[in-house]
């Protein structure tokens, strides 16, 4: 989840946009990622105005993989709504007519954005801060739907680490996006420094940003599942190829 701080001051429009991970949003979302079941026409996301005194406007929209605002093949409705103090609201994600153009043999990725708009201050020279939440939105075709119990097994069997020179590359032969959040050189160890989280697209591969020597011959990778959990995948290496041999819930 990412928050953008949007400062505005009475009588002046500020052009800067700051990024924060510590500020608390007034309008919050009920999840850190969303998976759209391709067998359905719509799904709902729940939002809450945590402010104890003031109503807020909530603005919602969808971006494509490149960060461009789009109105399809998934639309966010309503694009703007008022949420009273301590009240809840919903944003409906609706498939549009061009959803048929989405690949049906793999997931597609979009980004859901939720921006809070505070009420206008009656005081002069008041700095107002608006926070924006941005989460990954995966479109999962109906043929690729998984039960909560078997999702981890299907994903973990598809990941393969291959040593290339001083580094490792991770291959994802599955039709699902896989986000790797941390790396370890042994189960129960400390995270390896220098590892950058990476999202690997279906049927693709990506290098890891740490040396092969730092991970050793029994690497452990943490990935983020549909529910925000972080299971650990334990690999065993033979020669230059490492495959998953076990996993631990996270």
**What's the average model confidence in pLDDT over 23-40?**
91
Q: What is the pTM of this model?
A: 0.86
C-alpha dist (Å) from residue 190 to 19, 135, 183, 196: 28, 27, 9, 15
Give the model's confidence band at 183: pLDDT under 50 very low, under 70 low, under 90 confident, else very high.
Answer: very high
**What's the average model confidence in pLDDT over 162-187?**
93
Give the model's confidence band at 1: pLDDT under 50 very low, under 70 low, under 90 confident, else very high.
Answer: low
**What's the average model confidence in pLDDT over 184-213?**
93
pLDDT confidence of residue 20: 35
More confidently predicted of 128 and 166: 166
Check if the beta carbon of residue 223 is closer than 8 Å to that of residue 180. Answer: yes
Give the model's confidence band at 125: pLDDT under 50 very low, under 70 low, under 90 confident, else very high.
Answer: low
Distance CA 14, CA 84 (A): 27
Tokens of 160: 């393969």
Of 174, 223, 176, 218, which Cα lies nearest the Cα of 195? Answer: 223
Question: Does the bond joining 73 to the residue before it have cis omega, within 30 degrees of 0?
Answer: yes
Find residue 223's DSSP bridge partners: 180
Distance CA 99, CA 96 (A): 6
pLDDT in tens, 77-93: 999 999 999 999 999 99
- CA angle in degrees (0–180, nearest 5) for 134-203-72: 40
Distance CA 193, CA 20 (A): 22
Give the model's confidence band at 67: pLDDT under 50 very low, under 70 low, under 90 confident, else very high.
Answer: very high
**What's the average model confidence in pLDDT over 166-180?**
94
pLDDT confidence of residue 23: 58
What does the mean pLDDT of the chain come to? Answer: 87
Does the structure show a pLDDT above 60 at 150? no
pLDDT confidence of residue 222: 94
Q: Exposure pattern of 85-103 as b/e (b: 16+ CB <10 Å)?
A: eeeebebebbbeeebeebe
């Amino acid at each position: 989840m990412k928050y953008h701080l949007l400062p505005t001051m009475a009588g002046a429009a500020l052009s800067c946009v700051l990024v924060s991970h510590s500020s608390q949003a007034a309008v919050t979302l009920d999840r850190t990622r969303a998976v759209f079941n391709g067998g359905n026409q719509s799904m709902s996301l729940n939002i809450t105005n945590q402010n104890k005194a003031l109503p807020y406007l909530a603005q919602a929209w969808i971006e494509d993989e490149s960060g461009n605002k789009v109105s399809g093949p998934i639309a966010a409705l309503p694009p703007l709504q008022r949420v009273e103090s301590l009240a809840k609201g919903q944003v409906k994600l609706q498939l549009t007519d061009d959803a048929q153009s989405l690949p049906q043999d793999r997931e597609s990725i979009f980004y859901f954005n939720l921006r809070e708009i505070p009420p206008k201050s009656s005081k002069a020279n008041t700095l107002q801060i608006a926070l924006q939440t941005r989460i990954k939105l995966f479109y999962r075709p109906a043929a690729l739907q998984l039960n909560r119990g078997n999702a981890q097994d299907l994903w973990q069997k598809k990941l393969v680490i291959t040593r290339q020179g001083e580094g490792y590359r991770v291959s994802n032969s599955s039709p699902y996006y896989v986000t790797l959040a941390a790396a370890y050189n042994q189960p129960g160890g400390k995270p390896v420094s220098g590892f950058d989280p990476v999202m690997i697209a279906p049927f693709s591969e990506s290098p890891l940003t740490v040396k092969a020597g730092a991970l050793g011959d029994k690497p452990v990778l943490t990935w983020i599942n549909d529910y925000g959990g972080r299971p650990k995948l334990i690999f065993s290496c033979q020669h230059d190829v490492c495959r998953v041999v076990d996993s631990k819930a996270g």
